[in-house]
Chain A
Amino acid sequence: MSLRFAYATLCGLVLAGIVHIVTVLAIPRLSETDALSRTRSSESLEHPQPVNTLATPASPAATWLPAPDPAVAVGVCAYDLEDGPMRIAARTGPLALSLAVHGRRGAFYAVTDQAAVRGALDLVVLTRAQYDEALANDDENEPSRDVRIVAPDRQGFVVVRVIAGLPSQRPAANEAVQAVSCTIDGEDETPGK
């Protein structure tokens, strides 16, 4: 009897290990509060959805990040490459700006405004097929200045961070996040989509 009990306990422990691994791997997929699910609604916007708005004399800080940086304004543009490649255009200003492209498994590309060419930072996130198409359509005499990034997943989001070194720069940081544009690239672009 005690041998059977020990055997059942052993089976239970092995099962617990399997359940543990499956649960941990399934959490990012099943979570409804992760960044990817929360930013899904911003897909139709042309400017980043504010995620961490810095406190200014006019308005208090607004965020859903668990531990936000009180000196960094954060905005997010979600993309679904089914609709076409995603173009992110940022103009550099006096404040430090960085862009990071996240897929399902984490960030796969990041760039700061120090990589900007003539004050402009143009990123195009596309799938492998869209990348090949863009390459084939390139004009040899006038090479494209875009930074093209092939995304591993169809869905993801681009994070815009602007650092306000001083409290007086916070309104400017909030505006700098909103000044970035995220549009769907391509000739079948319909306004408002």
Chain B
Amino acid sequence: MIAGSQAHPGKPRAVAAGALRTLRGAWRRSAGIGLALYALALGAVLGLASADWATRGGYPFGGVTVGAWTLWPRVGSTGADPYARAVNARRGEIPLAVGEGLLMTAADDDGGRPLDAACTYSLTGATPPARAWTLTVTGRGEADPARPPMREGFTSTEILRERDGRFAITLGPEAEPGNWLPSPRAEGPMRLAIRLYDTPVAASAGSLDRDAVPAITRVACRS
């Protein structure tokens, strides 16, 4: 086009230059609108996606890590952070209140490897002081309807203890003597949850010792 306007000097050239100027102005204006739209879209998509990501699944932060376990002392209180409140609202969860109990979760073993339903684990030790506690294992996704419903956990009343009050639980796919907790799924990740009821720990979760929580040791894996 430029070559064409150069080939015909005079009036057509001025017209072409004017048209070019109008075109460039329109481009600049539309580029301004385009950039504004781009910024708006970026803000909306990134903002919504990150909010969805942060409030999906578990609590993003606010936990106290003790060994392989994470304690969640504040998620049910009025002092809970906005993310924990949003997670509770999205899941329909009723969290334990501070004077009522405390939730402890574990998704990894003591070696830092994720808990796998195909592996056998040994949970040994004791729990922090509590009037009662329950230990529950959950797998991801819907339960397999073909699998018979089995034990999902232990309570402090029904568990078999050693002489010193400590306990040892075997978590794995194969039946074992003693406290055997069957794997919830044939394969895939698992999560452990200990709920301490009527416990004084909530106020001092940060000062808990590694020995106060059960150790999770991987024994063997079915390959």
Beta-carbon contacts under 8 Å, A77-114 to B: 96, 98, 100-103, 105-112, 114
**A18 contacts the other chain (Cβ, under 8 Å)?**
yes
Which residue of chain A has its CB nearest to the CB of B79? Answer: A106
Mark each residue of chain B from 121 to 136: 1 if its CB lies under 8 Å from any CB of chain A, else 0.
0000000000110101
22 contacting pairs across A/B (C-beta < 8 A): A8-B39, A13-B42, A15-B39, A15-B42, A16-B42, A16-B44, A20-B47, A27-B86, A27-B90, A35-B93, A51-B94, A65-B92, A69-B153, A71-B155, A76-B94, A101-B97, A106-B80, A107-B76, A107-B100, A112-B131, A112-B197, A163-B155
Within 8 Å of chain A (Cβ to Cβ): is B193?
A: yes
Cβ-based interface call for A19 (8 A):
yes
Q: A8-B35, A12-B43, A98-B100 are in contact. Are A163 and B132 (CB under 8 A)?
A: yes
Contact A20 to B50, CB < 8 A, known contacts A98-B197, A107-B100: yes
Cβ-defined partner of B85 (8 Å) among A4, A11, A106, A161? A106
Q: Which listed residue (B79, B85, B99) contacts A110, Cβ 8 A?
A: B99
Q: Contact: A31 with B90, CB < 8 Å? A: yes
Bound CA–CA A100/B197 (angstroms): 12
> Chain A CB within 10 Å — which of B43, B47, B76, B131 has the most?
B47
Q: A: which residues have CB within 8 A of B?
A: 1, 4-5, 7-9, 11-20, 22-25, 27-28, 31, 33-35, 38, 51, 64-67, 69-72, 74, 76, 96, 98, 100-103, 105-112, 114, 152, 159, 161, 163-167
Pick the contact of B198: A24, A69, A112 (CB < 8 A): A112
Interface of B is mostly: mixed
A67 to B139, alpha carbons, bound, how many Å? 11
The answer, yes or no, to whether B89 is at the interface (CB within 8 Å) is yes
Q: Is there contact, CB below 8 Å, between A24 and B82?
A: yes
Q: Is the CB of B197 within 8 A of A27?
A: no
Selected contact of A112 from candidates B51, B99, B153, CB within 8 Å: B99
**What are the residues of chain B within 8 A of A98 when measuring CB–CB?**
100-101, 197-198
A35-B93, A163-B197 known; 17 new pairs, CB 8 Å cut-off, are A8-B35, A12-B42, A19-B47, A23-B47, A25-B82, A33-B90, A34-B88, A66-B93, A70-B153, A71-B153, A72-B195, A72-B197, A106-B80, A110-B98, A114-B131, A165-B158, A167-B158
Residue of B nearest to A12 (CB): B42
Q: Which of A12, A72, A114 contacts B40 (CB 8 A)?
A: A12
- Is B138 an interface position by the 8 A CB rule? yes
Contact residues on B (Cβ < 8 Å of other chain), bracket: 35 or more
Beta-carbon contacts under 8 Å, B26-48 to A = 31, 35-36, 38-48
A146 CB to closest chain B CB (Å) equals 18
- A169's nearest neighbour on chain B, judged by CB, is B157
Closest chain B residue, CB of each to CB of A112: B198
Give the complex CA separation of A27 and B43 in angstroms: 18
